[in-house]
Amino acid sequence: MRFSKKVKYLIIVLLLVVSTLLAIGKWYVLPILMKYPSYPPSAIIGINCSKVAKALRLYYEGLGANVPENPSPDFVNYLIDIDPLFSREAPVAPYTSERDISFYLLLPCKLESSAPLLIAYTSPFTRNKGELFRYSLFLQGREISILLLRESLLKGIVGDETFENKKPDFYIWEKMRKYLRDQSDKGK
């Protein structure tokens, strides 16, 4: 099969254009896309809340009837043992991220409630015109629901004194693995 000179030139030009576009994509566009996550920070916080809800179910199942009177400290130990992203310590600079969150626990002795019961909430983050929101975990029956609430509404549920004075039970920091690796390298 023979091509005319005009068709050969068109094929060469087309190959040059495609290869140029691929090079631009590889060297300029791809690094930009890799730099910016596809999920906004609030979505990552929601995903981390799902991890905590799953861990809560597993923790209570593992305890059976032997749940301590205050399960929060034992649950935090359990979390720290299963994933290094969970920590009792707040994130430290330069290892902070807008995806870092603190968790406040209000865990019951039984993972079951006939009425909706607040069992955990996160630190605030801004969304939609600067309003503060928090993710909250509610227990209804044996199901854990994750809800996004305005901070003012959550404050009304928790009560002013508890809301203002409660310290975080644990933190999730996205750069914890990097922090631990850097600390390990310093110790060598």
**What would the pLDDT profile of 116-172 be if each residue is shown by its tens digit?**
999 999 988 887 677 888 899 999 998 999 988 888 898 888 888 888 888 999 998
104/157 Cα distance (integer angstroms): 14
User: What pTM does this model have?
Assistant: 0.71
For residue 115, the enclosing domain spans: 41-187
pLDDT at 36 over 50: no
**What would the pLDDT profile of 92-112 be if each residue is shown by its tens digit?**
888 888 778 899 999 988 888
What is the band of 53 on the pLDDT scale with cuts at 50, 70, 90? very high
Written as one string, the DSSP assignment of 34-76 is HHS-SS-HHHHHHHHHHHHHHHHHHHHHHHTT---SS-HHHHH
Do 9 and 77 reside in the same domain of the chain?
no
Give the end-to-end CA distance of the chain in Å, rounded to a whole number. Answer: 67
- The tokens describing 138, both together, are 């509610």
- The tokens describing 1, both together, are 């099969």
Give the total number of structural domains in the chain: 2
